Amino acid sequence: MVCGEETMDIKDMKRQGLTITRIAEITGRDLKTVRKYLKRKEPPKYASRPPVESKLDEFKSYIEKRMVKDSMTNAVKMLKEIKRQGYTGGITVLRVYMHPFRPIVETTTRRYETNPGAQAQVDWGHCGRIFHLGEIKPLKP
């Protein structure tokens, strides 16, 4: 697409006496494109595209109700519910629609520090086995 500024440049080059072929070479446009924009009296106006209907449109009020009132945030479960009501779309559109309604969960861990020597900490994630009361038992976290 040729923008408004480029349209003006094409017309300016023509006023300076350049041929359509030479203008096409300079701008990198096809001859037919240069001719088309030379014939126009005004620069092109581009309109935004009309909104496209989604398969999810008729289920949006139900989804919002379930998410806000009932705290339903699982897209897989929501998909099963609306499929029973006649939804024929996929889960990706549903996830994109549900995303802004999901609560923000803080996942950071607060650092806990003590003065040196004030506390000892041990990570018991995996410590092997211990012999206790005549049996070998695994140490569990």
How many domains is the chain partitioned into structurally? 2
Is residue 62, in this structure, part of any structural domain at all? yes
User: Is position 28 within any domain?
Assistant: yes
- Nearest Cα to 63, choosing from 50, 40, 79? 79
Q: Is residue 106 part of a domain?
A: no
Which pTM was predicted? 0.45
Per-residue confidence (pLDDT) for residue 41, from 0 to 100: 80
Q: How far apart are CA 36 and CA 41, in angstroms?
A: 10
Distance CA 52, CA 75 (A): 22
Tell me, yes or no, whether 95 and 61 share the same domain: yes
* 95 and 62 inside one domain: yes
pLDDT of residue 87: 94
Range of the domain at 81: 57-101
| Residue 82 pLDDT | 94
Averages of pLDDT over each 10 residues, the chain, 141 residues: 79 92 92 90 78 91 88 89 94 92 77 83 70 82 57
Query: Does some domain include residue 133?
Result: no
Which tokens is 107 given?
């996942």
| 33, part of any domain | yes
pLDDT for position 84: 95
The pLDDT score that the predictor gives to residue 108 is 74
